[in-house]
Structure 1
Amino acid sequence: MFSHTPEQLQELVSFLLTEAKALGATDAAAELSEGSGLSVSVRKGDIETIEQNLDKQAGVTVFIGQRRGNAGASDFSKESLKASVRAAFHIAQHTAEDDCAGLAEADLLEKNPKDLDLYHPWQINTAQAVEIARDAERGAFAVSKKITNSDGASVSAQQSHFMLGTTNGFMGGYAISRHYISCTPIASASTKQGAAMQRDDWHTTSRVPEELARPQDVGAYAAKRALARLGARSISTRHCPVLFEAPLAVGLLGAYVQATSGGALYRKSSFLLDSLGVQVFPKHLDLLEEPHLPRLTGSAPFDEEGVRTRSRKVVDAGVVQGYFLSTYSARKLGMQTTGNAGGSHQLQLKSRLTKKSDDLPAMLKKMGTGLLVTDLMGQGVNYVNGDYSRGAFGYWVENGVIVHPVEEITIAGNLKDMFKQIVAIGSDTIVRGTKETGSILIENMTVGGR
């Protein structure tokens, strides 16, 4: 599957570190990775793309005191690696000193990494991948004659491994896999104004191919979502409760992570500056970081600097308990790294009020009358002041029942207010990337329409 064994990668990482020291580096870090994969897409049964990738990347960071330089290569030959070390050393020589630069403290490094079961290659060939994508489209077209077209279906199988080493005692790496199946059908219907068309999509993703949903089910669910959008119309501008469907609610969690990440905090470009110990969410909310859950996308025994990861409550009863810091950003803030070089690990947003029965229909009943949002368009998030404004698609709900689909609207508010106004979180939990949450009900937002 890979052209190098872990032992060979380790040998090359050690070579890079030795070369850096020989040139006169105070410290150094090096990482090598390689990956391979297959991605295909079809549209209405015809093959659109077939991509096979073979990736190799070497990177070395050199420190001369508190001056830093880094360089990379895609060739693992000794000559190429030596050239990368020389380039990194040369850059460091001509870089200004930075009193926060340097490797992570040795006592924070992971010495005995856990095996988190992250590598499950999907042994499919091109013909099999194409057939899986066609199955997803067939599943969509089988739902209704109103599914008249398709923006395609895709299948991807990816696997990679890496090795990271530092001159202060860290050496570790592991293999990972990630696979997905997606489908985007188009529904159409005749109206007085002519033909109306709507599209929607759905996907399934996992590190483990056997855990992917059946391609026919992916296509069928995507088709039902597209059909449900037919007959959409705008509504008048108003203030009302807004329920974010779980796949979109993950984005709100992402906004929180962005605002409490070290880079945004030390640059003072966050609306949550100095929020440690502050009540940011209601008392019923907790946010957990769980990096050691087997097989999940956000799981990792150590971060990109070799710092050990740990389970922690990032938010406890609505109060911020910790940020997301790398070694550099932590030093900038006068704090200690949280093991988040490279980003957050597996995050779980939970409400102490959530019951097992709080599925999406139950959440609609909790909302009563308001807007269920299922799609967002545009960026529209200002992380400096928290202002939030996005184009949206969704469903108008009255007395807990969907009345009609809604389009050509915007939803707006401020993230500080939105976080404090989270009334409930559903049990309809979904995992998207490194984040996990159910649907999120916000008490009041501005909906801009006609």
Structure 2
Amino acid sequence: MSHSEIAPLTEALLSAAQKAGADAADAIAIDGTSIHIEVLNGALELAERSEGVEIGLRVMVGHRQACVSASDIESSTLTEMAERAVAMARLAPEDPHIGLAEPDALSEMRDGDALDLVDLGEDPDPAALESRALEAEAAALAVDGISQVSSAGAAYSRHRIHLAASNGFAGGYSRTDHGTFCVAITGEGTGMERDHFGDGRNHLDDLMPAAVVGHTAAERTVERAGARKPPTGAFPVVYDERVSSALIGHLLSATNGTSIARGSSWARDLLGEQVLPADLSLTEEPHRPRTSGSRPFDAEGLPTRNRAIVENGVLTGWTLDLATGRKLGMPSTGNAGRGTSNPPSPSIGNVRLTAGDLTRGALLAEMGTGLLITSMIGSSINATTGDYSRGASGFWVENGEIAYPVNECTVAGNLKDMLRSIVPANDARVHLSRVVPSLLVEGLTIAGA
């Protein structure tokens, strides 16, 4: 099915909603196929395939709304969904902020052709994915110091999405995703250390060779042999490019309209204030080609466009859908996202942080002595104050050079202070949805040995 082939499902849901007594409605259909293969010790370990169509309907009766979803697309099911949704909406509490977009505000872009998100080749068969996974595993095991590969795999998915609403919007797009990953282990018993690497692309031709994925995972793992705890104290920290987007993700979460409308964000008073260094900007890029976070329109049919979330260090606005925008007295930023069973809520896809001039090595040299974080586990973050604490592992750096691998430590600080002090490197991978380089952060507290 292409997204145009599932369009009749959304139209049928809207018709059923109108007949059931809804004042307004929107409907979404998602058709998906996914294959996931894993190997272990040169043999097939796991093979999973899923496919099907999910449908969702949101109805509004006055200022009340309800959502229902199903995976059965029989006409009788659509009728029953609409009747149930309208009955639920009539019992729901009133919300003056709900409602569809005005017709003249809707996106003129109604498909994803310009975004080049779809690999037009044949869907890969499971044998091809298994071969890729075996190649990654073999490449990792060939590296001296690797005791085992705990997981190696390959995956593929194809999704088609169509959205329609009673305000006249109808549009859809498709996306494919190819991926390869590998997790390697060095050492034995309590001395085991592991690391991983993976690559994911919309187009198979862009995908990194499986042997490179496996070799990179193994090299990262071997570097971690003999890890120990770092010293305790206040030190600068470099977030490696593979984890730095998580730090920026905390800022994106804090500036999400849902958190702001609830008053539960540490950034609630920072609109128009400096949140990053003055030479840095954070830009949303929803139309970047061949990038999984791209989308031609949002889940309310509004246009998506490039937006400076932070410009020259200053926070310019919140991430909003229609409802949160109305609560805050602001227009939607075209950031509504949704699944089949829930109403829209603000979400964000592709972002890019201004790159610096330094390589990661030069950034470590500038840091001098401190911690290079390459992996993080768990988190304790106070959403209201921005107090931050996370488990970390990586490498201890002395005099600008990596001295030894470290594990079992925590880093703590306050996100407001941390983000205002960041210094970026120039090593971001530009094909990722979040293009964020390695980041140097001053003045964190490290709890180690």
TM interval, shorter chain, is over 0.9
Count matched residues: 437
Quick one: distance in 2 between partners of 1:335 and 1:240?
41
What is the Cα deviation at residue 14 of structure 1?
1.3
Matched, 1:373 2:377: no
Check whether the contact 2:392–2:409 (CA below 8 A) recurs between aligned residues: yes
Task: Give the match for residue 112 of structure 1.
Answer: 109
Q: For residues 409-420 of structure 1, what are the structure 2 equivalents within 5 Å?
A: 409-420=409-420
Task: Give the match for residue 229 of structure 1.
Answer: 224
User: SS state of the match for residue 133, structure 2?
Assistant: helix
Check whether the contact 1:122–1:209 (CA below 8 A) recurs between aligned residues: no
Check whether the contact 1:330–1:337 (CA below 8 A) recurs between aligned residues: yes
Task: Give the match for residue 340 of structure 2.
Answer: none
Check whether the contact 2:109–2:297 (CA below 8 A) recurs between aligned residues: no
Matched, 1:25 2:29: no
Aligned partner letter, 1:214: P
Aligned partner letter, 2:86: F
Task: Give the match for residue 163 of structure 2.
Answer: 164
Unaligned runs of 5+ in 2: 338-346
Q: Say if 1:201 and 1:431 are closer, same or farther in 2 by CA, change over 3 A.
A: farther
Task: Give the match for residue 268 of structure 1.
Answer: 263
Deviations along 1:320-341, one digit per CA (max 9) or x if unpaired, are 1121111111111111110111
Q: Say if 1:447 and 1:50 are closer, same or farther in 2 by CA, change over 3 A.
A: same
Deviations along 1:277-306, one digit per CA (max 9) or x if unpaired, are 111111011001111111111111101111
Quick one: distance in 2 between partners of 1:127 and 1:265?
48
User: SS state of the match for residue 287, structure 2?
Assistant: coil
Quick one: distance in 1 between partners of 2:335 and 2:12?
27
Check whether the contact 2:386–2:415 (CA below 8 A) recurs between aligned residues: yes
Q: Percent identity?
A: 37
Matched, 1:203 2:207: no
Q: Say if 1:7 and 1:391 are closer, same or farther in 2 by CA, change over 3 A.
A: closer
Quick one: distance in 1 between partners of 2:4 and 2:228?
60
Task: Give the match for residue 4 of structure 2.
Answer: 7
What is the Cα deviation at residue 122 of structure 1?
5.9
Quick one: distance in 1 between partners of 2:62 and 2:281?
41
Matched, 1:349 2:346: no
Aligned partner letter, 2:91: H
Q: Which of 263, 270, 282 is the matching residue for 1:287?
A: 282
Deviations along 1:362-421, one digit per CA (max 9) or x if unpaired, are 221121211101111112222221111111111111121101111121100011110011
What is the Cα deviation at residue 108 of structure 1?
2.3
Q: Which of 44, 64, 67 is the matching residue for 1:67?
A: 64
User: SS state of the match for residue 51, structure 1?
Assistant: strand
Q: For residues 51-450 of structure 1, what are the structure 2 equivalents within 5 Å?
A: 51-113=48-110, 115=113, 116-120=115-119, 123-144=123-144, 146-188=145-187, 196-342=191-337, 343-351=347-355, 354-355=356-357, 358-422=358-422, 424-430=423-429, 434-450=433-449
Quick one: distance in 1 between partners of 2:122 and 2:436?
27
What is the Cα deviation at residue 99 of structure 1?
0.3
Quick one: distance in 2 between partners of 1:49 and 1:332?
47
User: SS state of the match for residue 378, structure 1?
Assistant: strand
Root-mean-square deviation (CA, aligned residues, Å) is 1.5
Quick one: distance in 2 between partners of 1:195 and 1:93?
59
Quick one: distance in 2 between partners of 1:43 and 1:104?
51
Check whether the contact 1:61–1:68 (CA below 8 A) recurs between aligned residues: yes
Quick one: distance in 2 between partners of 1:61 and 1:43?
44
What is the Cα deviation at residue 35 of structure 1?
0.6
Quick one: distance in 2 between partners of 1:359 and 1:385?
33
Aligned partner letter, 1:238: G
Quick one: distance in 1 between partners of 2:70 and 2:407?
48
Quick one: distance in 2 between partners of 1:195 and 1:263?
44
Check whether the contact 2:180–2:199 (CA below 8 A) recurs between aligned residues: yes
Deviant stretches of 4+, over 6 Å: none
Q: Say if 1:431 and 1:201 are closer, same or farther in 2 by CA, change over 3 A.
A: farther
Quick one: distance in 2 between partners of 1:413 and 1:320?
21
Check whether the contact 1:111–1:170 (CA below 8 A) recurs between aligned residues: no
Quick one: distance in 1 between partners of 2:414 and 2:41?
42
Quick one: distance in 2 between partners of 1:303 and 1:274?
27
Check whether the contact 1:170–1:306 (CA below 8 A) recurs between aligned residues: yes
Aligned partner letter, 2:426: S
Aligned partner letter, 2:50: N
What is the Cα deviation at residue 55 of structure 1?
2.5
User: SS state of the match for residue 297, structure 2?
Assistant: coil
What is the Cα deviation at residue 432 of structure 1?
8.1
What is the Cα deviation at residue 13 of structure 1?
1.3
Q: Say if 1:15 and 1:384 are closer, same or farther in 2 by CA, change over 3 A.
A: same
Quick one: distance in 1 between partners of 2:275 and 2:3?
44
Check whether the contact 2:17–2:59 (CA below 8 A) recurs between aligned residues: yes
Quick one: distance in 2 between partners of 1:347 and 1:282?
17
Q: Say if 1:366 and 1:55 are closer, same or farther in 2 by CA, change over 3 A.
A: farther
User: SS state of the match for residue 40, structure 1?
Assistant: strand
TM-score (norm 1): 0.94
Task: Give the match for residue 342 of structure 2.
Answer: none
TM-score (norm 2): 0.94
User: SS state of the match for residue 305, structure 1?
Assistant: coil
Task: Give the match for residue 344 of structure 2.
Answer: none
